[in-house]
Structure 1
């Protein structure tokens, strides 16, 4: 089951998933119909697609009033996700309803409901932006009106709604530091190689001495300096922990985010450009009077770990690196593995997972094929997407993403091209519940690549940690906003200890 993770630009810390993976999430089926012969991947997908209820041509005027805010808890395994629907009637037409969905725990608000039907006893909602539907009956008891039905988004789950007041603003997460801090925190600006400014924060011990420094590099999607996701601010928590341990920490808004410039470059920017931004931050940090320039390192998370490897391979002034849930395999293989792991965790049958993987592999291979023109790539990918039932508009949107400079570059980037050039201390960190950058594939690959150099490698595998560094139950992205802890405390302690051991 896939619940929306709403974000301004793209899902944070996630290597962007091709929507084809989530075609399967439209179905409530968990098993495939029996067949006497092997189905093609397209046929398997067709069999798992759900069909929306037919629209009533002339809905009757509702006999019950459902206007207002309705709450219900969607139970996903051991998790309870609060769903908040708001209904209102169009004044000029008392038979036409409008609705929006809020998911407060995911910081997702005003999700549009593209089709709302209510005939007095039957309610149907179609949420195409998150590929979900809700079919329900509306009944009046002696005490209240109750909406009871089935929410379908990958799996079909019961959802009962009752009328309540709107929820309050989510609370600050308990690990988030609040001032006054026992250290200095300053806002700075850093000039990039492309001559725009990055807004950043530097935190340092307030003792007037020189200190080792670390630079935090965020994952995929344009992130703010705190790497904010669903109310969590992991980079702010890490910076606070390390500064209290005696380190200077620099963290910046990505280009086009917050107080950073460069927004006009985003449509053409790639991981290589983001690596140059990281180098600009490195140059600025090395120039600071309070920094021990012999002890400056990088900490990268997810795609930020790949950027860390790229920078460390070509810069002799990087003293150490920490790779947090970073990839060790080529981008195309990583995204395929990520898609398989997520579908497996969601309970899809193996035949469906294999079918999706086969089609995705063909699409990704087309996207990076240097012998094809942009038009030839688009035509080939469109044909495959339409063949599995995707609409033309959605297919065009997916093609635009797949053939964007960032995506094509990421599919082709291989950490193994850079790892043998690194000869400094490296701390590889991986979560046992990370299903976006699976530990079993990537830790071994990272270590094998570093064995070809003179790097001193330490490895920390945290069995209960997910991709965004939280102690987790399932590791699924839908669980991220439901967890209270921002960064696994053991990881914070171990990073400070490891950094202390190599910087004296």
Structure 2
């Protein structure tokens, strides 16, 4: 599960009819200057009332400022751009720091107060995706669809086999972060590979842009944002859309969830008992905070000259302790590593393995053995929870990583920056399993 795609510091919105005291661009630049100077008190004074409560000065001082310092000195500060979101102006400032490139996102209300503050991933590099050999474009067609209605609807694509009669269909459910319909990660397009590969094998596929990508600015003002709003709701709506397609057998609609999408799949199935089954790809059973701690320690261990007591690692450890405290019955203020308190509170109540055990539907659970983000320990968790179930199939792949791409030795983030595709055996295994469910 990719957990560092965006660091959400807090979110709030307040409306005012006053004329702005300063321009949104100037206010955002002042926020940046105070962040770089480590001026927690001065930054806190710029917040509106809701932000002051959501992100107290001591949290800025103890958590945010050390993280910014860990990213190093500014090498380049780009020109700001402004987007209107109702009574809020959202300012984006591209930043290149010594250790990280990112976008600073500042929401400014009409009174000139800061109503939201985010660090977003830098604009991604051009993706040199190449169609894999198992994709046969002559075997399928693709058309645009919409998921949901009203303010939260999202666009998607339906890939349909050229076949006689009705075919089974799957909804692809993303990993964490503001993912596009292709689940673009580095130089990979995981969901495009799956969509074209499965459609070439007689399975209709519906994929869509994630709500956190399409409605990022508006979701920043949702203090009660949880896994339901991020993932579950749109997956259920997408399954309903798929059932209505004339080419699709409505009794053979499945969920294929990757990473966070697999983690959420049992909850999606509970919300939609009409589903014919689940396919879980690199889905965790362990608590999110344990994955974050393990991933961070691993990345430090393989980094050249990795400092085991670096400021970033220390901040991650503190964040993990906050999450453990919440799981033990405590409380958290504001957000932790981009996740608001409501999101985390919801997660601690959710046990995906126990939820899956209660489901009366077939499941296929696949895992790359080289995956350092969701590991074989999680795969063992699924096996333990679902032991003895004849309708559950497990398979792991020795040479595959978190994106189900082939490699050798220890998996490293640099693998994602090299062009590649989902391994053909994964596409074949999913297609065969779905076609066998009649």
Q: In structure 2, what is the equivalent of residue 434 of structure 1?
A: 371
Matches within 5 A, 1:262-281: 264-268=218-222, 269-273=225-229, 274-281=231-238
DSSP 3-state at the match of 1:251: strand
Decide which of 335, 350, 357 is 1:413's aligned counterpart. 350
Shift in CA distance, 128/349, structure 1 to aligned 2, threshold 3 Å: closer
Instruction: Give the 3 Å change call, closer, same or farther, for CA 223–50 of structure 1 in structure 2.
Output: closer
Alignment counterpart, residue 185 of structure 1, candidates 125, 142, 150: 142
Cα shift readout 1:35-68 (whole Å, capped 9, x = no counterpart): xxxxxxxxxxx9xx99999xxxxxxxxxxxxxxx
CA-CA distance at 1:337 after TM superposition:
2.8
Matched, 1:218 2:154: no
Aligned partner of 1:152 in structure 2 is none
Structure 1: runs of 5+ lacking an equivalent: 1-12, 20-45, 54-96, 102-109, 115-125, 131-167, 379-397
* Cα pair 1:219 1:301 within 8 Å, conserved: yes
Matched residue SS, 2:378: helix
What does the per-residue CA deviation read over 1:450-474, in whole Å, with 9 as the maximum and x for residues that have no partner?
238x561211111111112211233
Within the candidate set 229, 247, 251, 2:207 is matched to 251
Contact 2:327 2:348 in 1 (8 A): yes
Aligned: 1:324 with 2:281: yes
User: Any stretches of 5+ residues in structure 2 without a counterpart?
Assistant: 8-65, 79-92, 103-124
More helix by share: 2
Query: What is the number of equivalent residue pairs in this alignment?
Result: 337
Contact map agreement 2:168 2:435 (CA 8 A) in 1: no
Deviation digits for residues 318-355 of structure 1 (CA, Å, limit 9, x no counterpart): 11111110011222223223333333444789976998
In 2, Cα distance between the equivalents of 1:311 and 1:267? 24
Task: Provide the residue aligned with 1:443 in structure 2.
Answer: 379
TM-score, normalized by length of structure 2? 0.66
Indicate whether 1:494 and 2:429 are aligned.
yes
C-alpha distance in structure 2 between counterparts of 1:317 and 1:288, whole Å: 16
Paired residue for 2:187?
Answer: 231
Asked whether the 8 Å contact 1:302–1:324 carries over to 2, the reply is yes
Distance change (3 Å), C-alpha of 1:280 and 1:476? same
Which of residues 346, 356, 359 in structure 2 aligns to 1:422?
Answer: 359
Aligned to 2:48: none
Larger radius of gyration: 1
Q: Distance in 2 between matches of 1:407 and 1:275?
A: 15
Task: Determine the structure 1 residue equivalent to 2:57.
Answer: none
Quote how far apart the aligned CAs of 1:497 are.
2.0
For residues 333 and 98 of structure 1, the distance between their equivalents in structure 2, rounded to whole angstroms, comes to: 34
Partner residue, 1:338: 295
Counterpart residue number, 2:322:
363
Which secondary structure does the structure 2 equivalent of 1:246 belong to? coil
How big is each residue's C-alpha offset from its partner over 1:340-397, in whole Å with a ceiling of 9 and x where there is no partner? 33334447899769988864542322455654462xxx6xxxxxxxxxxxxxxxxxxx
Q: CA separation in 2, counterparts of 1:276 and 1:98?
A: 41
- Residues in 2 aligned to 1:412 and 1:348: alpha-carbon distance in whole angstroms: 39
What does 1:46-125 correspond to in 2, within 5 Å?
A: 112-113=95-96
The 5 Å alignment of 1:345-424 reads 345-346=302-303, 359-366=318-325, 370-372=329-331, 374=333, 399=336, 401-407=338-344, 409-410=346-347, 413-424=350-361
What's the CA shift string for 1:454-502, capped at 9, x where partnerless? Answer: 56121111111111221123312232112x3221122122222222222
TM-score calculated relative to the size of structure 1? 0.58
Q: Determine if contact 1:17/1:335 at 8 Å carries over to the other structure.
A: no
Aligned to 2:3: 15
